[in-house]
Every structure is written in C-alpha cells, then in structure tokens.
Structure 1
Amino acid sequence: MDKHDLIDTFDEEWARVRPDLVTDHVLVLGRILRIRDLAMRASERWLAPHGITWDMFDMIATLRRTGPPYALNPSALSRALLLSSGAMTLRIDRVEKRGLVRREPDPSDRRGTLVVLTEQGLELADAVLTAHFKEANQLLDCLSPTERSSVARSLRKILLQLEDPAGNAPGN
C-alpha cells in the first residue's frame, strides 16, 4: 500500500464529515498546491547560499533564457513572471538595487524601457542555474522518466483548461 500524505488525510476528513461531496479534486489540486509550497521552500534553501530569493532568481533566470542581449521590456517580463505591473516595478527595483539588472531606454520604442541583465546578474544566473537544475531534478528522483512525462502531460491538460476555461485552443 502507498504511504499516506497530508492530502489523503484531508480527503478522508471530507469523506467523513461530508460524504455527499465528490472530493477527487482535493487529491489532485491539493497535492499540486502542497508540492508548490514545498518546492518553493526547497528552492529558497539552495538559493540562500547565493544571497538571493526565488523572486530574484526567477527574474534573472527569465532574462538569461532570452539569450543575448538578455533584455525584455517590463510588460513582457511581467507576463513571463506572471506578475501585475505594480508588482513588476517593485521586483525590478529590488533586483536593480542588487546590481543584477539595469533599466535602459528601449531602442525600438523611444518611450519604452528595457530591463537588462547586468554582467554580475549573468554570472550569478549561470552559477545558480547549475545548482537549481540539479536540485530541482533531484526533487523528482522518485519518478521514472516515463512517470515524469506522464505527469507533465497531465498537468499540461489542467493548465490549458485553466488558462482557457472555455476549452478553446490557446490563442483563440
């Protein structure tokens, strides 16, 4: 028999006090939320020796994966980081104070600004990415490659449904 987790306990409690409810979602969404919380805590542990938080890492890693010149306008960056414009401004300010990014005029939009990864930000991103990918992959060591692929496909289905509740194909 499989081990029992906290989400199993929640499901059993609902079954006891409200047996009329269908609680399948608790087993799936509850675990997704719990995994997110625990994975974020784990990532903060491996980021701490580098002196950065998840929020800082998320920004410099996002800029790093764009490739040279490692720059995005704040709107594109906020979409990539899933942040509101107000939250984006505050995050850019914090990361800029650390010297990891800088704001520059956007050459393609004279009223626009680009957020650019600094040399220090690029070096830190590369150093942290190695540790991050190693540690994040170790979190999934309990799954075989086939299981990882299956979970990824299933989660994509849920995400696409949530991103477009009407069930339309993305972009429609």
Structure 2
Amino acid sequence: MPASRTSPTPDRLDLVGAAWRAERPDLDVRPQQVIGRLHRVANHLTAELVAVYERHGLSEGDFDVLATLRRAGAPYARSCGDIAAHTLVTSGGVTKRVDRLERAGLVTRRVADDDARARLVELTPRGREVIDAAFTDHMANEHRLLDALTPQDADTLERILRTWLAALEEPPATA
C-alpha cells in the first residue's frame, strides 16, 4: 500500500454522517466519523494480522501466549498468572490456550524451581522456532500495513493513540 498524500475519497462513514446530519442536525456526529473509522480500521487490521498467524498454524490467542513467553527471555517461562497479566486474558483463558499449545508440542509445563506448588509454562524448542518465524512475518506484515501512512502520519497517529489510550486505560503495573 503506497502512502497517499491526496484528499481521501468519500467513504461509507461520510454517507452515514451526511444522512444523520440531514435527519438530526441538532447533533454533532463527528465522534461517529472518528470512532467508526477507527473501528473499521481495527477490523481490517485484525483480519490482516490473523491471516499471518494462521499461516503458522496459530490463532491470535496462541500467538499472544507464545510471544509473551518468547519476550520473557531465557528460559522463556512464565506462570499462567504472569501470562494473564501480560496478555490481558484471564488465567482461565490462558489455561485453555496453554492446554492447546501443549498438545501441539509448542509449550510444556514444569514445576517452578523456587516453589514446588507453582507451575511454569515454557516454550519448547519447536515453540521457539514457530514464534520466531511467526513474529518475523508478523513484523513484516505490520510494516506493510503501516506503509499506507507517511512516516510523519504514523508518528502522529502513534502519539494520538497513546494519549487516547492513557485516558481510557489504567497504566501497566510493571514496565
């Protein structure tokens, strides 16, 4: 997708906005224009991202768990609670994902060195190969998707989204 510097062509949300302005001139529908476009972009991006994960035999959730383990550093292990905290998924949801990944031979569970009651989820060598290949393709895909914007627009969008997210979310407990 080449970066475009021309005026955008009217889209579906322009039509929806025009119809609402005609029917409800008393309301400012600009938020619908912004949020509607953001929602549509998010749906398109999700489809593009999931397609890459699927090429590696992964669901979006599988990728998330494997990536969380991989970026933990050697020995690429975390507790299910840790994974939940780093993926914003409940520990029950993480357990289901880990069960699936364990059946696929991508992770194992082991007893924690410092607490015999605790279990750690660890990447297998095959799991590390899969997430490394998937992440490489994922980053190439994200670069391709971001190429629809100029570098300056991408920087501006990142700043705007960071500000907006800060207003909507609690800051992370740890960096």
The one of the two structures with greater contact order (alpha-carbon pairs below 8 A, sep at least 6) is 2
Counterpart secondary structure, 1:44: helix
2:97 corresponds in structure 1 to: 91
1:117 to 106, 109, 123: 123
1:162 counterpart = 2:147: no
Q: Percent identity?
A: 36
1:60 counterpart = 2:66: yes
Alignment: residue pair count: 167
2:37 corresponds in structure 1 to: 31
Counterpart secondary structure, 1:111: strand
2:145 corresponds in structure 1 to: 139
Residues 109-160 of structure 1: CA deviation (Å, up to 9, x unaligned) = 3322211111111001111111110011101111122211110110011111
Using the size of structure 1 for normalisation, the TM-score is 0.86
Counterpart secondary structure, 1:52: coil
Structure 2 regions of 5+ residues with no counterpart? 1-6
Moved more, 84-93 or 9-18: 9-18
Moved more, 48-57 or 1-10: 1-10
Using the size of structure 2 for normalisation, the TM-score is 0.85
Q: CA 1:68 to 1:14, structure 2 compared with 1: closer, same or farther past 3 Å?
A: farther
Q: CA 1:12 to 1:62, structure 2 compared with 1: closer, same or farther past 3 Å?
A: farther
Two-structure CA RMSD over aligned residues (Å): 2.0
1:104 to 102, 110, 124: 110
